[in-house]
Amino acid sequence: MFRQAGILFALIVSVASLRILQEPQNSISQEDSCDGIAGCSLGTSDKIVFDKGAWTPNCDDLLQYAQQPIDMNACLAYQQSKSSKYKDIEEQMASSPRDTKIKMFLHISKSAGSLACECGNANGENPEAVKMMRKSMCLGLREDFPWWGDNKELPWFATTPPTKTEDCNEYEETLAKLHVTLEHNENYLPREGKLCDNLENTIIVRDPIQRLASHISFLIGEKGARDMTLTKMNTDYPRLADNYLARSLAGLSAFQAEFGVLPESTDRKSMQTLRSFDNVFIMDEFLNPEFELFYGWRSCDTISAKVSSATGGTPAIVGYWKKTWPEGDWELLLNQHKFDKKLFKEAQYQSFHKSFLKYMELFSGSPGKDGMKDGFQQKIQ
């Protein structure tokens, strides 16, 4: 049945563009990609065990981070609204104007990308593509399919190096011809990490160790993940276990670099790229409300998504490693993610700041400016 579905998919979309995947055996969907994967389970997003215990910024932190005056009353009002998942401003969110650019998500694997895809499609994204493809597809182009490396421990659909489009206009035109409004790039950024200004660029960032544990559990199941040692992890999944986020952000040269030899320039380049994204989300309990705040996507809690099949979710696997591994190995794991740890903290700041500005925009019509409408003035008094 899987092969038949793949053939049908290729026949339908090949007439729309030669850039779409030509080989039917490489057509994947969310449902198909779980076939034969040990730890892959589907469920609604309200079953996701979100990462807990990570540091998150507050208004005082934002004041220091932004290095410019921040209306603290407005920020505190934003924090209160966010804590209630924006229930008090749903009407404003529903009527807020939206960007008409094609949305390009840099889909960092195991960071709620499938949730973002299916929720977007259920809320009107990819209207023509959804008629032809499965509702969980946000991969219009073969060049955006997953690529996690080339070793035999990885599934077949994630071992083919992509041929990337370097020209931003060409990339946008190809997506437009396919009626794609929401595309997920699940490998590395082309142009050595430079984003396309003609797209709305978005990323969801997750704690790097949680992301890694989730990825390994997805590939080999709960028992295999729990039994994993640092040596085996680094041998079998060298790119996944060595600053995978930084590699994805910094482009092909960084992504292809051998394990343990990423230069310091990768840190600077990936940080600069992260700061260039239009929207930065964090994989936490506020992810769905943030989708609604920025895009107007509703009812994401009922959308099917990949969820951890491990008892206690991914946090339990991470806790098991920390408890049972030699102390030196645990410290080595943290150290070999030094770039990604810095990126995650930066993403926390970026997400908080951009979300605050979006919140202000609902009332002022112009983010970051002093002239706010009466409704917002009353709210922060």
- Tell me the pLDDT tens digit for each residue of 123-134: 999 988 766 655
The two three-digit tokens of residue 371, written as one number: 């002239």
pLDDT of 66 above 90: no
**What does the pLDDT average to over 50-62?**
84
pLDDT of 241 above 70: yes
The two three-digit tokens of residue 112, written as one number: 């709620």
Neighbours of 67 (CB within 10 A): 7
pLDDT of 179 above 60: yes
Query: Per residue in 209-218, pLDDT tens?
Result: 999 999 999 9
- The helix/strand/coil state of 155 is coil
CATH number at residue 135: 3.40.50
pLDDT tier, 180 (very low <50, low <70, confident <90, very high otherwise):
very high
Number of domains within the chain: 1
**What does the pLDDT average to over 151-169?**
94
The answer to whether residue 254 sits within a structural domain is yes
pLDDT at 196: 98
pLDDT of 145 above 70: yes
**What does the pLDDT average to over 16-39?**
42
Q: Quickly list H helices, the chain.
A: 2-14, 30-33, 59-66, 72-83, 90-95, 113-122, 127-132, 168-177, 208-226, 230-236, 244-250, 252-256, 264-274, 287-295, 313-324, 327-335, 338-364, 374-380
**What does the pLDDT average to over 172-200?**
96
What sign does the CA torsion over 101, 246, 149, 280 have? negative
Counted residue by residue, the chain has a size of: 381
Strands 279-282 and 182-185: unpaired
Q: Are 145 and 170 in contact (CB under 8 A)?
A: no
Distance of CA 307 to the CA centre of its chain: 15
The answer to whether residue 272 sits within a structural domain is yes
The two three-digit tokens of residue 278, written as one number: 């239009």
The two three-digit tokens of residue 345, written as one number: 């903290």
The answer to whether residue 189 sits within a structural domain is yes
| Host domain of residue 139 | 42-380
pLDDT of 360 above 50: yes
Least confident range from 27-41, 162-176, 192-206, 246-260: namely 27-41
d(CA 71, CA 55): 23
pLDDT of 3 above 70: no
- The per-residue pLDDT of the chain, averaged, comes to 84
Residue with more model confidence, 182 or 380: 182
Please name which of 45, 37, 245 lies closest in space to residue 136, comparing C-alpha atoms: 45
**What does the pLDDT average to over 54-61?**
91
The answer to whether residue 293 sits within a structural domain is yes
d(CA 357, CA 189): 26
Please name which of 348, 342, 377 lies closest in space to residue 363, comparing C-alpha atoms: 377
What sign does the CA torsion over 82, 122, 26, 177 have? negative
The answer to whether residue 337 sits within a structural domain is yes
The answer to whether residue 3 sits within a structural domain is no
Question: Percent of the chain scored above 90 by pLDDT?
Answer: 66
Task: Order across the sheet with 200-205: list the strands.
Answer: 182-185, 103-106, 200-205, 279-282
pLDDT of 21 above 60: no
* Residue 204: its H or E element: strand 200-205
pLDDT of 345 above 90: yes
pLDDT tier, 161 (very low <50, low <70, confident <90, very high otherwise):
very high
The answer to whether residue 5 sits within a structural domain is no
pLDDT at 170: 98
pLDDT of 31 above 80: no
pLDDT of 303 above 90: no
pLDDT of 169 above 90: yes
d(CA 269, CA 251): 9
pLDDT of 6 above 50: no
Rounded-to-10 torsion of CA 362, 363, 368, 369:
140
The answer to whether residue 17 sits within a structural domain is no
**What does the pLDDT average to over 288-297?**
95
